[in-house]
Structure 1
Amino acid sequence: MIEVNDIYKSFGDNEVLRGISANFEPGKISLIIGGSGSGKSTLLKCMVGLHEPNKGKVLYQKQDFTRLNFEERIPIRKEIGMLFQNSALFDSMTVEENITFPLQMFSEMSNKERIERANFCLERVNLEGRNKLFPAELSGGMKKRVGIARAIAMTPKYLFCDEPNSGLDPRTSIVIDELIQDITEEYNTTTVVVTHDMNSVMGIGQYILFLYQGEKKWEGSNKEIAHSDVEELNDFVFASPFMKIAKEKF
């Protein structure tokens, strides 16, 4: 369980987050959605410690992460997997080396054990035998899958994904969503995804947090979102003709 309590975050005079509170449960995919500048990526960065909130708390299993120093945060950070928007693979490393990198940093595995774990993770994302390829030899979807393999290498309790479907075609996006869903269920992971992809929202959004201009405007599930009476949420969700047609079927 991750609890976010009354989070405020400013950059100079620009107040990006204003009093955000939410609970993110294990075994469930939680989505943070909102338009550009709504504060969704800033909230995620506050949750993982890339930004420090000006006010409020982030609790991991009731432990106040925001009050811990760098050394005290290490045990929690070892339990976090992160999938970045651009995959953030090391171009000079092979697929295998990218996946084993966190294992070298944070585990006491032998080299043989690290390679075995990399093979398992590659099999998990359907990329068996691609160990020696470099990122430049991969498609965008394959890079995202390698990013997921690296994110789960340490068997994380918490998985954070920042725009995992950005730049992908619809079919590949579905593959990525299904992988995230399978991993969340298999490992009972607390999974938090920042996205603007409405296919993801309707497909895997078990809990959805909608931000608007730095404030929490709505929370609920993908089964409830179509029936919201929040004007800002409806404008965001049903902006496209496709979603307007979909709304009529609910």
Structure 2
Amino acid sequence: MINIKDIYKTFGDNDVLKGISATFKTGKNNLIIGGSGSGKTTLLKCIVGLHEPTKGQVFFEDENFTEMDFEQRVPIRTQIGMLFQNSALFDSMTVEENIMFPLNLFTDQSMAEKRDRANFCLERVNLKDRNKLYPSELSGGMKKRVGIARAISMQPKYLFVDEPNSGLDPKTSILIDELIAELTVEYDMTTVIVTHDMNSVMGIGDHIIFLHQGQKNWEGTNKEIAHTDNKELNDFVFASKFMQAAKEKL
């Protein structure tokens, strides 16, 4: 479980986040949604420590992550898996080498143990025997799956995902969503996903936080979102569905 309390983030004169508090639940797909510029990715970066909040606190279980120095944060960071928007694979490394990268950094496992773990993770994301391929030889969906395999290589307690379906066709997007949801339950992770994809929201949104102009404007489940009378959320949902339908017609 992750708790964030009264998070503010300011860049110069720009107040990007304005007092956001929330609890992200273990074993659930926790989605952060909102329009462009609403603060979604900034909030994600504040939670994992890529940005320091201007004000507020982040707790992993009962540990105050915000008050820790770099060394104190290392044990928590080794329990975090991340899937970036563009997968962030190393072009000069093979699929296997990409997956083993966190293991090389944070473990003292033998090469045989690391290869076994890489093989397990590849098989789990349905990419068995793709070890020696390079990112340039992969499709967009395969890159996302390799990114997921790397993110779970350390058997994380916390998984952070930024726009997992960016650049993917609807069918592949559904497969990626389903894979993330399965792994969340399988590893009993606290999964936090930033997305603007309403298919993801309705498909796997166990717990949803809607940001509007840097503030938490609504919170609920994918079942509740269809019945809300929140104007800003309804405007976002309608616009998202309209844009998705328009893209599918092109």
- How would you bin the TM-score normalised by the shorter chain? over 0.9
Contact 2:30 2:205 in 1 (8 A): yes
Deviation of the 1:242 alpha carbon: 5.6
Are 1:75 and 2:64 an aligned pair?
no
Deviation of the 1:152 alpha carbon: 0.1
Deviation of the 1:62 alpha carbon: 1.2
2:112 aligned residue: 112
Query: Kindly tell me: are residues 241 and 151 of structure 1, through their superposed partners in 2, closer, same or farther at Cα, counting changes over 3 Å?
Result: closer
Task: Provide the secondary structure at the position in 2 that maps to 1:57.
Answer: strand
1:99 aligned residue: 99
2:25 aligned residue: 25
Deviation of the 1:23 alpha carbon: 0.2
Matches within 5 A, 1:80-229: 80-229=80-229
- Partners of 1:145 and 1:2 lie apart in 2 by 25
- Per-residue Cα deviation, 1:39-59 (whole angstroms, up to 9, x for no partner): 000000000000000100000
Q: Percent identity?
A: 73
Task: Provide the secondary structure at the position in 2 that maps to 1:238.
Answer: helix
Deviation of the 1:144 alpha carbon: 0.2
1:239 aligned residue: 239
Deviation of the 1:11 alpha carbon: 0.3
Deviation of the 1:180 alpha carbon: 0.2
Structure 1 runs of 4+ aligned residues shifted over 3 Å read 240-243
- Partners of 1:218 and 1:240 lie apart in 2 by 17
- Per-residue Cα deviation, 1:164-201 (whole angstroms, up to 9, x for no partner): 00000000001100110010000100000000000000
TM-score, normalised relative to structure 1: 0.96
- Per-residue Cα deviation, 1:142-163 (whole angstroms, up to 9, x for no partner): 0000000000000000000000
2:58 aligned residue: 58
TM-score, normalised relative to structure 2: 0.96
Contact 2:79 2:158 in 1 (8 A): yes
AA matched with 1:157: K
Task: Provide the secondary structure at the position in 1 that maps to 2:239.
Answer: coil
- Partners of 2:120 and 2:223 lie apart in 1 by 34
Task: Provide the secondary structure at the position in 2 that maps to 1:81.
Answer: strand
- The unaligned stretches of length 5 or more in structure 2 are 246-250
- The unaligned stretches of length 5 or more in structure 1 are 246-250
Task: Provide the secondary structure at the position in 1 that maps to 2:145.
Answer: helix
Query: Kindly tell me: are residues 196 and 240 of structure 1, through their superposed partners in 2, closer, same or farther at Cα, counting changes over 3 Å?
Result: closer
1:248 aligned residue: none
Deviation of the 1:240 alpha carbon: 4.9
Contact 2:121 2:153 in 1 (8 A): yes
Q: How many residues align?
A: 245
AA matched with 1:46: C
Contact 2:39 2:211 in 1 (8 A): yes
AA matched with 1:62: D
2:43 aligned residue: 43
Query: What is the RMSD computed on CA atoms of the aligned residues?
Result: 1.3
Deviation of the 1:238 alpha carbon: 1.5
AA matched with 1:172: T
2:8 aligned residue: 8
